Amino acid sequence: GSKVAYEELDASKLTYSFTKSPLPVPEAGVTSSGNKSICTDHMLVANWNMETGWSAPEIKPYGPFTISPTASVLHYATECFEGMKAYRGYDGKLRLFRPDCNAERLLMSSVRISLPSFPPSEVEKLVKAFMAVDGPKWLPRDRPGSFIYIRPTLIGTHSQLGVAAPAEAMLFIIASYMPQMDAPPGGMRLHTSPADMVRAWAGGFGYAKVGANYGPSLLATSEAKTRGFHQILWLYGEEGLCTEAGASNFFVLWKNKETGRTELVTAPLGDKIILDGVTRRSVLQLVRERCADEIDVVERKYTIDEVLEADAEGRLVESFASGTAYFVCPISLIHHRGKDVNFPMGKKNEGGDLTLKVKNWLKDIMYGREDHPWGYVV
Enumerate binding residues for ligand PMP (CB under 6 A).
83, 209, 244, 247-249, 275, 277-280, 322-324
In the complex with ligand PMP, the residue whose CB is nearer, 54 or 327, is: 327
Instruction: Closer to ligand PMP by CB, 133 or 233: give it.
Output: 233
In the complex with ligand PMP, the residue whose CB is nearer, 14 or 96, is 96
With respect to ligand PMP, which residue has the nearer C-beta, 156 or 206? 206
Name the residue nearer to ligand PMP (CB basis): 135 or 277.
277
Beta carbon of residue 129, minimum distance to ligand PMP (angstroms, whole number): 21
**Number of residues that make up the chain:** 378
Nearest distance, CB of residue 283 and ligand PMP, angstroms: 9
Query: For residues 83 and 166, which CB has a smaller minimum distance to ligand PMP in the complex?
Result: 83
3-state secondary structure the chain: CCCCCCECCCHHHCEECCCCCCCCCCCCCCCEECCEECECCEEEEEEEECCCEECCCEEEECCCCCCCCCCHHHHHCCEEECCEEEEECCCCCEEEECHHHHHHHHHHHHHHCCCCCCCHHHHHHHHHHHHHHHHHHHCCCCCCCCEEEEEEEEEECCCCCCCCCCCEEEEEEEEECCCCCCCCCCCEEEEECCCCCCCCCCCCCCCCCEHHHCHHHHHHHHHHHHCCCCEEEEEECCCCEEEEECCEEEEEEEECCCCCCEEEEECCCCCCCCCCCHHHHHHHHHHHHHCCCCEEEEECCCEHHHHHHHHHCCCEEEEEEEECCCEEEEEEEEEECCEEEECCCCCCCCCCHHHHHHHHHHHHHHCCCCCCCCEEEC
* Nearer to ligand PMP among residue 200 and residue 378 (C-beta): 200
Shortest reach from residue 231's CB to ligand PMP, in Å: 11
Q: Minimum CB separation from ligand PMP for residue 180, in Å?
A: 15
CB nearer to ligand PMP: pick between 55 and 319? 319
Cβ neighbour number for residue 9 with a 10 Å cutoff: 23
Least distance from ligand PMP to the Cβ atom of residue 73, Å: 18
Minimal distance, residue 124 CB to ligand PMP, in Å? 15
User: In angstroms, what is the minimal distance from the CB of 325 to ligand PMP?
Assistant: 6
- CB nearer to ligand PMP: give 154 or 275: 275
Residue (120 or 323) nearer to ligand PMP, CB: 323
d(CA 254, CA 258): 12
Q: State the minimum distance, in angstroms, from the CB of residue 264 to ligand PMP.
A: 16
Q: Which residues, 6+ apart, have CB-to-CB distance to 54 below 8 Å?
A: 7, 8, 9, 10, 46, 47, 48, 116, 118
Q: Are strands 231-236 and 262-266 parallel, antiparallel or unpaired?
A: unpaired
Q: Are strands 58-61 and 53-54 parallel, antiparallel or unpaired?
A: unpaired
Least Å from the CB of residue 322 to ligand PMP: 6
CA dihedral 81→131→8→2, nearest 10 degrees, is 110
Q: Which residue's CB comes closest to ligand PMP?
A: 277
Question: Could you tell me the smallest distance in angstroms from the CB atom of residue 179 to ligand PMP?
Answer: 15
